[in-house]
Amino acid sequence: MERISIGESKNVKILGRTTYTEGKLNLFWTASGIDLDTPATEMYIDVETDFEKYEPWVEIYVDGVLSQKRMVDKGVSRIYILRKMDPGKVRNIRFIKCTQPHPSDKREMFRILGIGADADPVQMEKRPVRIEFIGDSITSGEGLHGAYGEMSNTGAMFAVDGSYHSIIAKELDADAALFSMCGYGVYSGWCGMTKESMPQYYGQVCGVTDSIYDDVTGSHEKWDHSLFRPDIVIINLGTNDSGSIDMSGQYVEDKDWTCPVKINEDGSVKEEALSDISGAVVSFLKELRKIHPDAMLIWCYGMIRGRLDETLKDAVHSYRRETGDNKAFYVSLPETRKEEFGSRFHPGRQSHKHAAEMILDTIRKLQNGGSIPEI
Q: How far apart are CA 265 and CA 213, in angstroms?
A: 47
Please, what is the Cα angle at 207 between 205 and 211, to 5 degrees? 110
Per cent of the chain over pLDDT 70 is 98
- CATH class of the domain at 2-117: mainly beta
Within the chain, all domains assigned CATH 2.60.120.260 are found at: 2-117
Report percent pLDDT > 90 for the chain: 95
CATH of span 129-367: 3.40.50.1110
CB 159 within 8 A of CB 144: yes
pLDDT (tens digit, 9 = 90+) per residue, 300-336?
Answer: 999 998 899 999 999 999 999 999 999 999 999 999 9
Distance CA 218, CA 202 (A): 15
In this structure, are residues 337 and 302 in contact, taking their beta carbons and an 8 Å threshold?
no
| DSSP secondary structure string for all residues of 20-40 | EETTEEEE-STT-EEEEEE--
pLDDT band at 375 (very low <50, low <70, confident <90, very high): very low
pLDDT over threshold 60, residue 46 = yes
Nearest to 187 by CA among 179, 178, 198: 198
Q: What is the pLDDT of residue 306?
A: 85
* CA pair distance 347, 314, nearest whole angstrom: 25
- Residue ranges, comma separated, of all CATH 3.40.50.1110 domains in the chain are 129-367
Span 193-232, pLDDT tens digits: 999 999 999 999 999 999 999 999 999 999 999 999 999 9
DSSP string, 207-224: TT---TTHHHHTTTSBP-
